């Protein structure tokens, strides 16, 4: 049983729209906040698309529940108005440190004292942001995966300052919106998922770029020997090659060589993964 009833989501882009819709779908009143009314019009279209996706992909969503979720979402480009009733604010604005800090400083001035703040940041630690929240005891990270209706983890990561009762309240909330909460009690860049996935994908790239084994054979070994449904290069194609490329190109000299290999062999040829019809595999689009 969660004590959280009213939720405001800051940012209505890829992840913010999904978080807001999933929260509304599970019966919460949601305010979707973004910086201006034009972007909120785009948000309305995103939510309508999500309602269609849920209708097709989520059992029980058709004939009412997806439309009911749309009706539970209110829209605002006025920060004070958007958070006036909020028990929880989930921030999903661009991954820019200064922008996030400025936004938390503005939020701190207008949000009620009771409001919990949660960042969906993928790469920043909550400690990078906590000073600007004005309430480090009521602040933590809650990290969702893209396509949250299918990939329903919520990695919940505290700082040393987070009140354990706030942590528990957010774990309960995550469960209430249909996520599997993954508690992370010490800060870790990459949370659990990317702490495992990034080295795994890098190791696979080393094998293929070094000429040890073809990507399809690396995948075959992984699938057959571990029973996993997908090999690392299938995962690259799902994620899209640009994101791993960006991570590798900021890494060690060896990682930068892997980035160059990805770029020259695949990205420069338009092979970006499933989204472009071809990556390590061809998808016949």
Which span sits near ligand NAD by CB under 6 A: 13-21, 130-138, 183-191, 277-285? 13-21
13 vs 277, beta carbon nearer ligand NAD: 13
Of 120, 194, 202, 278, the active-site residue reads 194
Confirm or reject binding of residue 66 to ligand NAD (CB under 6 A).
no
Instruction: Answer yes or no: 52 catalytic.
Output: no
Distances (CA, A) of 170 to 48, 174, 183, 260: 27, 6, 10, 41
Task: State which of residues 93, 157, 208, 218 lies at the interface with ligand NAD (CB under 6 A).
Answer: 93
Instruction: Answer yes or no: 120 catalytic.
Output: no
Of 122, 132, 202, 278, the active-site residue reads 122
Q: Which helix (H) or strand (E) is 222 found in, with range?
A: helix 215-226
Instruction: Answer yes or no: 143 catalytic.
Output: yes
Confirm or reject binding of residue 120 to ligand NAD (CB under 6 A).
yes
Confirm or reject binding of residue 237 to ligand NAD (CB under 6 A).
no
Shortest Å distance, C-beta 150 to ligand NAD = 13
Shortest Å distance, C-beta 115 to ligand NAD = 16
Task: State which of residues 86, 92, 184, 218 lies at the interface with ligand NAD (CB under 6 A).
Answer: 92
E strand residue ranges, the chain: 6-10, 29-33, 73-76, 88-91, 116-119, 139-144, 153-157, 180-184
Confirm or reject binding of residue 35 to ligand NAD (CB under 6 A).
yes
Measured at the alpha carbon of residue 94, what is the angle toward residues 68 and 266, in degrees to the nearest 5?
100
Neighbouring residues of 268: CB distance < 8 A, sequence distance ≥ 6: none
How would you label 64-90 residue by residue, b for 16+ Cβ within 10 Å and e otherwise?
ebbeebbebbbbbeebeebbbebbbbb
Confirm or reject binding of residue 133 to ligand NAD (CB under 6 A).
no
- Given a contact cutoff of 8 angstroms between Cβ atoms, the answer to whether 132 and 104 are in contact is yes
121 vs 159, beta carbon nearer ligand NAD: 121
DSSP state, 146?
S
Helix and strand totals (H; E) in the chain: 12, 8
- Given a contact cutoff of 8 angstroms between Cβ atoms, the answer to whether 138 and 166 are in contact is yes
Instruction: Answer yes or no: 155 catalytic.
Output: yes
Total of chain residues touching ligand NAD, rule CB under 6 A: 23
90 vs 208, beta carbon nearer ligand NAD: 90
**What is the C-alpha separation between 68 and 51, in angstroms, rounded?**
9
Q: Which residues are catalytic?
A: 122, 143, 155, 194
Interface with ligand NAD (CB under 6 A)? 10-16, 33-35, 39, 92-95, 99, 103, 120-122, 143-144, 146
């Amino acid at each position: 049983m969660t004590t959280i009833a009213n939720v405001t989501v800051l940012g209505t882009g890829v992840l913010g729209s999904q978080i807001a819709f999933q929260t509304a779908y599970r019966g919460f009143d949601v305010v979707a906040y973004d910086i201006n009314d034009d972007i909120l019009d785009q948000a309305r279209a995103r939510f309508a698309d999500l309602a269609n996706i849920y209708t097709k992909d989520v059992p029980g969503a058709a004939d009412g529940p997806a439309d009911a979720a749309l009706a539970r979402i209110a829209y605002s480009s006025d920060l004070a108005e958007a958070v006036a009733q909020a028990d929880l604010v989930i921030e999903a604005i661009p991954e820019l440190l200064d922008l996030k800090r400025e936004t938390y400083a503005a939020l701190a001035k207008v949000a009620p004292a009771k409001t919990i703040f949660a960042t969906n940041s993928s790469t920043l630690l909550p400690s990078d942001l906590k000073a600007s929240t004005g309430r480090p005891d009521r602040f933590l990270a809650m990290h969702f995966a893209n396509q949250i209706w299918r990939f329903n983890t919520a990695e919940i990561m505290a700082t040393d300052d987070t009140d354990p009762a706030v942590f528990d309240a957010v774990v309960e909330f995550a469960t209430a919106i249909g996520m599997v909460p993954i508690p992370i009690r010490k800060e870790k860049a990459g949370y659990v998922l990317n702490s495992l996935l990034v080295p795994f994908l890098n190791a696979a790239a080393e094998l293929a770029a070094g000429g040890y084994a073809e990507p399809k054979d690396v995948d075959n070994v992984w699938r057959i020997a571990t029973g996993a449904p997908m090999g690392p290069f299938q995962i690259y194609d799902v994620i899209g090659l640009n994101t791993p490329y960006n991570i590798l190109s900021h890494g060690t000299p060896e990682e930068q060589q892997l980035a160059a290999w990805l770029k020259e062999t695949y990205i420069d040829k338009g092979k970006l993964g499933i989204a472009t019809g071809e990556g390590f595999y061809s998808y016949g689009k």
